[in-house]
Amino acid sequence: MSDAYSFSLTTFSPSGKLVQIEYALNAVAQGRPALGIKAKNGVVLATEAKMPSVLMEQSTLKKIQVVDEHLGITYAGMSPDFQVIVKQARKKALAYNAQYGTKAPVSQVAREIAGILQDATQSGGVRPYGCSLMLAGFDDEGPQLFQIDPSGAYFKWKASALGKNYVNSKTFLEKRYNEELDLDDAVHTALLTLKEGFEGAMDENNIQVATCTKEHGFKLLSPSDIKDYLQEVE
């Protein structure tokens, strides 16, 4: 009987769940870790970016993507699904800019992305997106951090983690986080959080970090910058 609900996206199980969404969340929980931290003067995104084979080109793995000058996004879960969502997010941000002549608020882009994910939970012949997202940006309300799940649910966070070992990562963030973190401290905290569950040696080549501030917008840190931060936390 349970199989009937497992294979149907649009049928609720007796316990009130759409089981395919539960499976999508399981895919997220098996993904490479990603996290975000809001500081008083910016936002940080960080993620593990280890290649599954040493024969693969490291430069082709881009787990943190720019959506607009003032916001970016990372994920845990299925990379192809993430690429589709990034394209849609960029279109929404550009459309807002074209219509209103100003950059889209981070909350508006988060709402639009959540709507795209939610649409895939109520139509036959499709499946939920197999990734959860961390959207970070800076707008008139200051630094913003949103987590968006395959169900279409989205919430604003001070700090959060996705992917493998996310429970321990969130526990670590709860202990380390405070409202007065500046951006450098937030980067250090992000690297320490990743280090807690990292398998093998962590270096500047197998992690990616980005920051977003009012002055500089959203930018990816270079490997040399990441190396400097890693030396400070060791």
One-letter-per-residue 3-state SS of the chain: CHHHHHCCCCCCCCCCCCHHHHHHHHHHHCCCCEEEEEECCEEEEEEECCCCCCCCCHHHCCCCEEEECCEEEEEEECHHHHHHHHHHHHHHHHHHHHHHCCCCCHHHHHHHHHHHHHHCCCCCCCCCCCEEEEEEEEECCEEEEEEECCCCCEEECCEEEECCCHHHHHHHHHHHCCCCCCHHHHHHHHHHHHHHCCCCCCCCCCEEEEEEECCCEEEECCHHHHHHHHHHHC
| pTM for the whole structure | 0.93
What is the tens place of the pLDDT at every residue in 93-103? 999 999 999 99
The per-residue pLDDT for 147 is: 98
Q: Categorise residue 175: left if φ over 0, alpha if ψ from -120 to 50, beta otherwise.
A: alpha
Q: What is the CA radius of gyration of the chain?
A: 18
Q: Give the domain CATH number at 148.
A: 3.60.20.10
| Structure token pair of residue 35 | 């996290």
The per-residue pLDDT for 124 is: 76
Domain count, the chain: 1
Report percent pLDDT > 70 for the chain: 97
Cβ contact 223:202 at 8 Å? no
The per-residue pLDDT for 139 is: 95
Q: Tell me the residue range of the domain where 90 lies.
A: 2-233
The per-residue pLDDT for 48 is: 93
With CA atoms as reference, report the closest residue to 136 among 145, 127, 128: 145
Looking from the CA of 223 toward its CB, the CA atoms found within 13 Å total 8
pLDDT band at 152 (very low <50, low <70, confident <90, very high): very high
With CA atoms as reference, report the closest residue to 29 among 188, 197, 205: 197
